[in-house]
Amino acid sequence: MNIIETLQQRDIKPSYLRLKILEYMLARKNHPTVDMVYEELSKEIPTLSRTTVYNTFNLFLQKGLVQKLGIDDVEAHYDADISLHGHFRCDHCGKIWDLPVKTDVSQIEGLKKFEVRTIEYYAKGLCDQCQKCQRHSNK
Amino acid sequence: MNIIETLQQRDIKPSYLRLKILEYMLARKNHPTVDMVYEELSKEIPTLSRTTVYNTFNLFLQKGLVQKLGIDDVEAHYDADISLHGHFRCDHCGKIWDLPVKTDVSQIEGLKKFEVRTIEYYAKGLCDQCQKCQRHSNK
DNA sequence: TACAACTTTGTAATGATTACAATAACAATA
DNA sequence: TATTGTTATTGTAATCATTACAAAGTTGTA
Ligand SMILES: [Mn+2]
Ligand SMILES: [Mn+2]
Ligand SMILES: [Zn+2]
Ligand SMILES: [Zn+2]
């Protein structure tokens, strides 16, 4: 399915900027922040406003096209993969990886009385690259 | 173990305010924000500063006495229970519940190459009280 | 063209958190 | 006790991600 259809399927009018923003998300799969999208796309579209990126993500979020990740204290990250999966974020370099988490909601005791809308699973620590850096600097 | 010993065990000098703040955490177990602690304790201690609550939580965090919960977009919540467990937050009333999550880190595929320091598991949706409210208002 | 609906933009406001410097409390020592 | 250094607490100002809002631009239709 192409990008325009993906937008239309969620009842979102496929404007040029929405297209470019979703295209960025699907091409990079890098869990970007608003600023990452803004910095990259404004090279090509110098008139782009940060507010538009905020607006667009909020629209995508409301329409269920992306999920918002609260894995970072500072900035929100966004993910066009809305399937249930976890994330690892390196405390040192900030990069984010996907984790295959097979969580059966119905199996979690104590979750039965709630109407669950979203599930987030986050791990934080050091990636293998940064483990090496850390060891190096601690000599 | 009493509160003073709990602080000392983590290498934290048991000042009056640190004592009161930890006491609040252990008594309430309500995953408070900085403001919740400030509002409650400043009744009894009118000279208390919000900055002190921020400072104290950052110290507790650094010493591993509490964990910080990123379950809320707006404010950070803190938890004196540092055992591995998940949380449910109601989108409507904002209350937070503990979830018994039995996650064996070593069992999560794709986490092996990382040095994991923290794990967070969040579910969001509606609590049973607010499910009723919602149904009522949608009539 | 004219009009309405929607999209995009820029600026100002909001609000949680941190930075910083001044003061107060505490601890060790002479 | 007086002195001195260290740590804790406080208040204010700065930071910065996000939102509010209103103006300007775009699109589609009659
Ligand atoms: Mn992902
Ligand atoms: Mn808890
Ligand atoms: Zn790293
Ligand atoms: Zn509720």
What is d(CA B56, CA B18) in angstroms, rounded to the nearest whole number? 7
Q: What is the pLDDT of residues A36-69, one digit of tens each?
A: 999 999 999 999 999 999 999 999 999 999 999 9
pLDDT at residue number B137: 67
Query: Average pLDDT, whole number, for chain A?
Result: 93
CA of A78 to the centre of ligand 1 (A): 8
> Does the beta-carbon distance from B127 to A113 stay under 8 Å?
yes
Reported as a pLDDT band with limits 50, 70 and 90, residue B139 is very low
Q: What letter represents residue B84's amino acid?
A: L
Overall average pLDDT of the B106-129 stretch:
88
A18-27, A38-47, B98-107, B128-137: segment of lowest average pLDDT: B98-107
DSSP reduced 3-state for B79: strand
Mutate to test the interface with B, among A54, A62, A109, A115 (most CBs of B within 10 A): A115
**pTM score of the predicted model:** 0.93
Residue B62, CB, strand D, below 7 Å: no
Residue A134 has pLDDT above 90, yes or no: no
* Residues of B whose CB is below 8 A from A88: 110-111, 114, 116
* Residues of B whose CB is below 8 A from A68: 73
The domains found in chain A, sorted by start residue, are: 1-81 (1.10.10.10), 83-139 (3.30.1490.190)
Please tell me what DSSP assigns to residue A124. E
Q: What is the pLDDT of residues B45-70, one digit of tens each?
A: 999 999 999 999 999 999 999 999 99
pLDDT at residue number B76: 98
> What does DSSP say about strands A115-126 and B115-126: parallel, antiparallel, or unpaired?
antiparallel
Residue A129 has pLDDT above 50, yes or no: yes
Q: Which of residues 95-124 of B touch strand C (CB under 7 A)?
A: none
Overall average pLDDT of the B14-37 stretch:
98
DSSP A40-101: HHHHH-TT--HHHHHHHHHHHHHTTS-EEE---SSS-EEES--SS-EEEEETTT--EEEE--
